[in-house]
Amino acid sequence: LQIWGSYLANAPKEDLASWLHTHLGEQDARMGFSYSDVLADCDAWLLARSMQSDSSERSLSTAMRDMFAQSETNRIKRFYQSRFKGSADNLVIAFRKLVDGIDLGIFDNVSGSKKALLIASHADRLPSQAEAGILALSYAESLENPNR
């Protein structure tokens, strides 16, 4: 959602899909969500997943060493495959569900979660379902082609 806030602040009249293509995953973090941001999110998810799924007393440093031994491109693609089964449609479903509020266990749209999402995105509104779809498809494209 960080890039959503950047879009609203910097280019509300420009077509969302075009703006995202330019700024999502860019090397320079002036606007949008940089390549480093994408990689950090992927690494955090992969690391958490590794620590959860390993039943041994695996140390954080070992998990990090194993993860960082892989290329950046490989880590981004592994995240996309592991988290979304390599499917843009799955990413769209997940993102559209997120923008209507955070779910926690059996509770949908936990109270106060929309406010938290607005704060996290630095935006005055959350994306519509259509805008969420565009955001998700652009993110999927950046995960499929991390060095575009």
Q: Is the pLDDT of residue 5 over 70?
A: yes
Q: Residues 24-56: pLDDT tens digits?
A: 988 776 777 889 999 999 999 999 998 887 666
Going by C-alpha positions, the residue among 12, 3, 88, 93 that lies closest to residue 41 is 3
Q: How many Å apart are CA 73 and CA 107, to the nearest integer?
A: 35
Q: Domain span at residue 117?
A: 2-144
Alpha-carbon torsion (24, 42, 29, 94), positive or negative: positive
Count of domains in the chain?
1
The DSSP letter of residue 109 is S
pTM of the model: 0.86
